[in-house]
Amino acid sequence: MVGGLPTDLQFDLQKYGTMAFPESIPFSPAGDKLPITQGDFRDFAADPIAEMRKLHAEHGSLALLQDGFKKVAFAFGPVWNQPVLSNAQDFHSMFFAIRGSRKSSLRRLTSGLLSMNDDEHREHRRMLMGPFARKSFEKYFEGINQLTHDMLNDWQVGETRDILAEMTQFMLRVTSGMLFGLDNPEFAYNLGHMLHEWVQMNHEIGTGAFVADAKYTDRYEDLLNLSDELEIQLKTLLEMKRQDPGDGNDVLSILLAAYAEEKIVDENKLMGHIALLFAAAHLTTAHTFTWTFLLLSQHPDVMQELHAELQAGVLADPFNPNSTETLLDRILKESMRVLPASAYSQRICARDLTLGPLQLAKGTPVVFSQYMTHHMAALYPEPDKFIPDRWLQIKPSPYAYLPFGTGPRMCIGGPLAMVILKMVIPQVLSRFKLSAIPGSTINGRVISTMLTPTSTVPLLLEEQDGNFRSAPVEGSIHQLVEFPAEAKSARRAA
Ligand code: HEM
């Protein structure tokens, strides 16, 4: 041990990080005072970010919250993200919501990649990666462009649109088309709609995975019923695809073919994958669009520069998710840093193990957090501010910047999500100027694991004239991100 850190971690940080050492260790190396605190898991469920901030302020980057006999460990920042996220053998993945009894449709629908570990996870992940490799997803571009045109043709100058609803609708159509095929858009859309409700419900009562509270579990019965209906629809779809694979370009057709080739015919697993892919893809990307448009509406100077870049025909390379070359690259990096769609996630200890000074029993959940890591001042000075050009100077390690997670369970759709964002944002901004409505209330909070706008996000659509002004908004958004002083003082005056 050097300076209280295991030497291999220090070595790894040197290997990956080009920045100052992230933050000091919160306890003495002698481990005389363990970061254990009594608490109520319901507080975490009600407001995960507030509770994680409290734990971080009291205990530093490692804490153990105990409620009765139950314990949950919290690991914040790159030092602890590294072991928790790279050691998939000891830290198992667990589906974020309640999974239902063994024979329930809910259990089968939640049997996708997130519920798999070890060899099974590796094998299925390899198969699922196919449709998300660059050469595969180029064939979705035409459909995405068409859906973008359809959305923009529906928008009128002078209207106010809830950009959250718009981008959720848009991603619902994009995801349904990619997963199930654009040749039968109506069926795909209806199924997508049902999946959307199912995902929302999973997130809403997902917190029940941590706490047994009627507030979260009363709707469990509804979730079971919806799962039954959804399973019937998915089975119909599988049958339809087997009868008539269409052009075979959608993810489901590719997976069906791969499954047939590898002679794995567990239909339940396939349905679990489809449900998870839908769940993982559409809301995360819709929220990233929404947060990015909101941030731009509050930062006219950044928007002005982006407009000039787009006017000059400088486009971000959609196939290089790590690029910081164009302003749009940096805007997306910074948007996903300051308001990451996935705010935290968890692992389960697969055996009794030690994390720093903590002895964790098999089965103990370990929470890690993108939001907390991305808001550490030692890694990102003025962490609550949206400063895209900070990316010209920094190159954080994969454990310090992880909007798509990192390690063997890193998001398989990240590159595709970046392509969609980089394709669509310039098209929207070349047709419309999006401005906030003065005095509108924008709320956001973590629901289950996702950082979600919990109000509408109304933006005014205007002719794109290249003149940008911000407008002050109200709401809990100000607890998540700091807007420029101008917008804040106008907010106080309003
Ligand atoms: C901006 C959009 C997205 C964000 C922010 C995001 C974020 C994440 C994060 C943080 C994880 C890791 C969770 C963990 O370690 O516990 C993850 C995993 C995953 N994501 Fe995404 N995601 C996005 C889009 C997508 C898309 C478009 C797809 C598929 C079409 C997708 C499919 C998956 C899958 C299947 C996993 C599980 C990987 C595994 O367990 O091996 N995601 N995502």
Ligand 1 atom closest to the CA of 407, numbered from 1: 15
CA distance 229 to 236: 11
CA distance 192 to 166: 15
CA of 40 to the centre of ligand 1 (A): 29
Ligand 1 atom closest to the CA of 346, numbered from 1: 16
CA distance 264 to 251: 16
Ligand 1 atom closest to the CA of 114, numbered from 1: 40
Please say whether the beta carbons of 27 and 34 come within 8 A: yes
CA of 277 to the centre of ligand 1 (A): 8
Query: Probe ligand 1: pick from 411, 423, 446, max atoms within 8 Å of CB?
Result: 411
pLDDT at 274 over 50: yes
CA distance 112 to 406: 19
**Could you identify the residue written with the tokens 């982006």?**
306
User: What mean pLDDT comes out for the span 131-139?
Assistant: 79
Please say whether the beta carbons of 469 and 300 come within 8 A: yes
CA of 238 to the centre of ligand 1 (A): 23
Q: What is the pLDDT of residues 410-432, one digit of tens each?
A: 999 999 999 999 999 999 999 99
Q: What is the pLDDT of residues 155-195, one digit of tens each?
A: 999 999 999 999 999 998 898 888 877 566 677 778 888 88
pLDDT at 468 over 70: yes
pLDDT number for residue 33: 57
Pairing label, strands 160-162, 432-436 = unpaired
Which protein residues are within 6 Å of ligand 1, measured from CB? 93, 113-114, 125, 276-277, 280-281, 284-285, 288, 341-342, 345, 403-405, 409, 411-414, 416-417
Q: What is the pLDDT of residues 214-224, one digit of tens each?
A: 666 677 888 89
| Protein residue whose Cα sits closest to atom 24 of ligand 1 | 281
Q: What is the pLDDT of residues 8-36, one digit of tens each?
A: 333 233 333 323 333 333 333 334 456 78
CA of 285 to the centre of ligand 1 (A): 10
CA of 300 to the centre of ligand 1 (A): 31
Segments making up each domain of the chain, as ranges: 7-155+164-281+338-414
100 phi-psi bin (left φ>0, alpha ψ -120 to 50, beta other): left
Please say whether the beta carbons of 52 and 74 come within 8 A: yes
Name the percent of the chain lying above pLDDT 70: 87
| pTM for this predicted structure | 0.90
Q: What is the pLDDT of residues 250-262, one digit of tens each?
A: 888 888 887 777 6
Please say whether the beta carbons of 437 and 458 come within 8 A: yes
Q: 47: burial class by Cβ within 10 Å (0-12, 13-18, 19+)? A: middle
Q: Which residue has the higher pLDDT, 323 or 424?
A: 424
Q: The tokens of 438 are what?
A: 């003065």
- Architecture per CATH, 7-155+164-281+338-414: Orthogonal Bundle (1.10)
